[in-house]
Amino acid sequence: MRKLAAGNWKMNGLGESLSEIRALAEAHPAPACDVLICPPSTLLARLSDAAGDAIATGAQDCHANETGAHTGDISAEMVADAGGTYVIVGHSERRTDHGETDDTVNAKARAAWRAGLSAIVCVGETLAQREAGEALSVVGAQVAGSVPDGARAANTVVAYEPVWAIGTGKVPTLEEIAEVHDDIRARLKARFGAEADGMRLLYGGSVKPGNAAEIFGTSNVDGALVGGASLKAEDFGGIIAALA
Ligand code: 13P
């Protein structure tokens, strides 16, 4: 399957950041993997225009409903209207800051499909859960609850992001990453059969140009969800090159 290098800009980026996208598009006109940038929603339409054909764009969240009285929210249809083709749902920062549950995330993933988008469903354990030996059970329960019935390879990506590895410079060992990714694949196969073979499983959490190649070489890792190192064309370009 074609791997995916996905950048999550989080709450970073102003109009001037479009120059990073132009530089990325220029440096990687025909990348060997799929490339995606999820900027803040204020930049999505402009970034979609600037990104060109080789770089897909998406949002970092969407509301489950199509329209309505939900001040401050955006719908999956609005993401599509702004040129996005993906939406991240259930990022740990949204689970923590906004109290999102597996049920919320599940509804948002279905909203993404309704609008013709691919959902990137995020899961991951806290440090306390890992130290208690609960990583596989916590992640397994999140996958079970957050990935909706009817998921298909073409519209569903699962991102494993250990909460303790996000923005910390700490990365699990390759064995730990493989253990979780193998387990997620097995759970998806048990539920979705052969369709699960084509679902991309991303690793996220302190991925940098320097560690990307070894992470991408790990069992059942089909790409990365990158925060800090996706903000600069040079750093993200290094990660894209490592995926080739
Ligand atoms: P960092 O790459 O900055 O650790 O962030 C990972 C992340 O949360 C991507 O969604």
Ligand 1 centroid to 8 CA: how many Å? 7
Distance separating alpha carbons of residues 96 and 149, to the nearest angstrom: 24
Q: What is the pLDDT along the chain (244 residues), one digit of tens a residue?
A: 999 999 999 999 999 999 999 999 999 999 999 999 999 999 999 999 999 889 999 999 999 999 999 999 999 999 999 999 999 999 999 999 999 999 999 999 999 999 999 999 999 999 999 999 999 999 999 999 999 999 999 999 999 999 999 999 999 999 999 999 999 999 999 999 999 999 999 999 999 999 999 999 999 999 999 999 999 999 999 999 998 7
- Ligand 1 atom nearest the C-alpha of 122 is 10
User: What kind and span of H or E run contains 187?
Assistant: helix 174-192
Structure tokens at 10: 């989080």
Query: Do residues 178 and 214 touch, judged by C-beta distance below 8 A?
Result: no
Strands (E) across the chain are located at 4-8, 34-38, 55-59, 86-89, 118-123, 156-160, 200-204, 223-226
Q: Which numbered atom of ligand 1 lies nearest the CA of 229?
A: 2
Q: How far is the CA of 103 from the centre of ligand 1 (A)?
A: 23
The catalytic position among 20, 28, 77, 91 is: 91
Q: Report, at the CATH architecture level, how domain 4-242 is classified.
A: Alpha-Beta Barrel (3.20)
Between strands 223-226 and 118-123, the pairing is unpaired
In the chain, domain spans: 4-242
Q: Tell me, what's the pLDDT at 244? A: 75
Q: How much is the pLDDT for 145?
A: 98
**Separation of CA 68 and ligand 1 centre (Å):** 31
Cα–Cα dist 75/141, whole Å: 26
CA distances from 202 to 53, 97, 157, 161 (A): 22, 22, 7, 8
The pTM assigned to this predicted structure is: 0.98
Task: Output the CA 167–ligand 1 centroid distance in Å.
Answer: 6
Catalytic residue among 20, 100, 125, 161: 161
> Is 161 an active-site residue?
yes
**Which atom from ligand 1 is nearest to the alpha carbon of 230?**
2
The question of whether 66 is a catalytic residue gets the answer no
Residue 82 CA, chain-centre distance (Å), reads 18
